[in-house]
Structure 1
Amino acid sequence: MDYRWHWGVLLQPVATGEPATYLDWLFSGLVNTVELTLLAFSVALAMGTVFGVMRTLPNRAANAASAAYVSIFRGVPLIVQFFIWFFVVPEVLPTAAGDWFKSLPSHPQFLIASVVSLGVYTGSRICEQVRAGIQARPVGQFHAAFALGLTRAQAYRHVLLPVAFRTILGPLTSEFLIISKNSAVASTIGLLELSGQARQLVDYTAQPYESFICVTLAYMALNFAILRGMRWIRRRTALHGMIGS
């Protein structure tokens, strides 16, 4: 293979004239990836929990709304949702909200649209996992909560959801890892996360192997950190004699 390896290029000043090296570019991309992953997973977990609970309520309207949310956002390709949230939604929002979004600097615009896109999409997947975790609980737990005088909301908050989340920690870990990899789609609307910075580095240096080897190692380190963190949470929250312990 006629290829000239040049790892030192990562420490060279960037050609744009800014006070940074190409390694700094990759590090800023990693920071953007971590920020996007954490924010999007928070949004996904919140939305997945709300709609997952709605899927188990004895209310047809709540069930229909949750089912529609899952069908729509799981059925549309993720890249299409990124384009819709970034290009279309600001135009159909109320004028004040749309103007506020379009007046933001480019990076906050890219980040907000990416967090919403990735969070809403992943939330539709977590919704089904939360529903399954709740329905996997013995019906006697719900009746026991009512017998203790708890309302339905209190039964979900203090009895069903804490145990359901312990049950689905495995699938939640998978969704966390998937979000970290799906964050690469954000580069299609301009957010220079890890893979976007790598492509930019290749354009300026013509050293693709060094760039993407570094990116691969960075993704592996991020995924390892997520796995270790979720494993720690599982050990700390395990209930003996139950699934997930």
Structure 2
Amino acid sequence: MPKSNTPISHSTANGAGSQRPWYLQLFYEEKTRAIIYQILVTGALILLGWYLVSNTLDNLARQNIATGYGFLSLEASFGISESMIAYSPADTYGKALMVGILNTIKVSIVGILLATLIGTLVGIARLSPNWLLRKFSGAYVNAFRNVPVLLQLFFWYALINTGLPKPRQALNPFGDLFITNRGIYTAIPEYHVAYWWMAAAALAGVIGWWALRRWAIRRQQATGQPFHHAIAGLALTLALILLAYFAAGAPTTMDAPSLQGFNFKGGWNISTEFTALLLGLTIYTSTYIAEIVRSGIESVPKGQWEASNALGLKPGHILREIILPQALRVIIPPLTNQFLNLTKNSSLAVAVGYPDLVSISNTTMNQTGQAIEAIAIFMTIYLSLSLGISLFMNWYNKRMALVER
């Protein structure tokens, strides 16, 4: 008897009663199950968050502790030893926290720049043919990388306080520069509108330098003739700054520090706390950056060195123009992690008395009892700083990535 090619349906084979309802058929689809599971997990997280928040609010209400951020407009009534903006104890908690935010940003930016510079130099020195330089840089990395950063902060703070003289016996190497165990004091120009014009001129000069560089690159690609845009751009920037300086009145008045009582007043001061924190964060992070730079350089094929040497290029030119641009594609991702670590490690400033965001938030919590709100504020600030650094480094990483053809 000939076989039939007609497919047998499930309802025919197993009976009409075994046909699954439409909602069960929908559930047995993989995509549908994935969506359902995600909805259930999201709902569970929302319920958990609602429980935690409501439970916290109930506990605070039972203890008669006020909630909210209204305390930010109240008078702070405590002083801050170091501030980038005008501040007094009569200002609000909100302004006090702003001082802490700016201090955190200051030490993070300066630390990142110095750690990158030192780490790059040490990383290159790790590969130097000079035996003494190679061993010294290796000892630097191994010594400071294996000591916890908190202990390094204590070390530098104690070294500065015990190794430098008191203000009355301050070191005065030249002019109005004084080095003491309370900080470094030096003269600074008094405020004048000319300096704002000079800053604007410097910005215009940098923009002009960038435009000149782009033109020089296009010109060299078209004609093969190089143009020394670095010298021309620097000369343009300096000329604009000097023009703005003389056009705005050429101020010369300086605010010099002077010994008054037990300490110096006036001028520009780099505090002991800031110096110790900056040294600890910079040296500790630079050791990791040095290893990142070293491994990035070693990831470039040796044939690149050999081909460059065969062309008669100088070692410094080879490293700067050929090797490092290729190594950056390996260096940038782990370098981003070190920038984030340095920014977050700045919260250890409280250990040496530097008034950063965490230190001022702790004082705010102790005085107001608004612990949850204060912690939420500095967690949000650190999250924002970290995301900002990540966004910038991801943008830069994309710019340095190879373009597919």
Give the TM-score taking structure 1 as reference length. 0.90
Alpha carbons of 1:193 and 1:61: their partners in 2 closer, same or farther (altered >3 Å)?
A: same
Q: Which whole-Å CA distance do the structure 1 matches of 2:340 and 2:323 have between them?
A: 25
* Residue 15 of structure 1: aligned partner: 77
1:96-141 superposed Cα distances (whole Å, 9 cap, x missing partner): 3897042537863222221121011100011100000000000011
Do 2:154 and 2:352's aligned partners in 1 also have CA atoms closer than 8 Å? yes
1:182-224 superposed Cα distances (whole Å, 9 cap, x missing partner): 0011121111111111111112112111100111111111111
- 1:177 CA drift (Å): 0.6
- Deviates further, 55-64 or 179-188: 55-64
SS at match of 2:403: coil
> Which segments of structure 1 move beyond 6 Å, counting only runs of 4 or more?
none
- Is residue 26 of structure 1 aligned with residue 97 of structure 2? yes
Q: What is the correspondence of 1:39-188 to structure 2 with a 5 Å cutoff?
A: 39-89=110-160, 91-92=162-163, 96=171, 100-104=179-183, 108-188=271-351
Letter aligned with residue 15 of structure 1: S
Do 1:107 and 1:191's aligned partners in 2 also have CA atoms closer than 8 Å? no
Aligned partner (choices 200, 219, 239) of residue 382 of structure 2: 219
Q: Which whole-Å CA distance do the structure 1 matches of 2:353 and 2:336 have between them?
A: 27
SS at match of 2:402: coil
Q: Which whole-Å CA distance do the structure 1 matches of 2:164 and 2:90 have between them?
A: 39
Do 1:15 and 1:204's aligned partners in 2 also have CA atoms closer than 8 Å? no
* Residue 190 of structure 1: aligned partner: 353
* Residue 231 of structure 1: aligned partner: 394
- Is residue 38 of structure 1 aligned with residue 201 of structure 2? no
Root-mean-square deviation (CA), in Å? 2.2
| Identical-pair percentage | 31
- Gaps (5+ residues) in structure 2? 1-55, 79-87, 186-268
Alpha carbons of 1:97 and 1:183: their partners in 2 closer, same or farther (altered >3 Å)?
A: farther
- Deviates further, 155-164 or 211-220: 155-164
Do 1:137 and 1:160's aligned partners in 2 also have CA atoms closer than 8 Å? yes
Aligned partner (choices 185, 202, 208) of residue 365 of structure 2: 202
Larger Rg: 2
Q: Which whole-Å CA distance do the structure 1 matches of 2:349 and 2:116 have between them?
A: 19
Q: Which whole-Å CA distance do the structure 2 matches of 1:135 and 1:107 have between them?
A: 39
- 1:79 CA drift (Å): 1.0
- 1:176 CA drift (Å): 0.7
- 1:166 CA drift (Å): 2.8
Query: Which is richer in helix?
Result: 1
Give the TM-score taking structure 2 as reference length. 0.56
Tell which has more relative contact order, 1 or 2 (C-alpha 8 A, sep 6+): 1
Alignment coverage as a number of residue pairs: 241
SS at match of 2:181: helix
Letter aligned with residue 96 of structure 1: L
Q: Which whole-Å CA distance do the structure 2 matches of 1:220 and 1:96 have between them?
A: 41
SS at match of 2:179: helix
Letter aligned with residue 338 of structure 2: E
- 1:43 CA drift (Å): 1.1
Alpha carbons of 1:119 and 1:207: their partners in 2 closer, same or farther (altered >3 Å)?
A: same
Do 1:41 and 1:176's aligned partners in 2 also have CA atoms closer than 8 Å? yes
Do 2:350 and 2:358's aligned partners in 1 also have CA atoms closer than 8 Å? yes
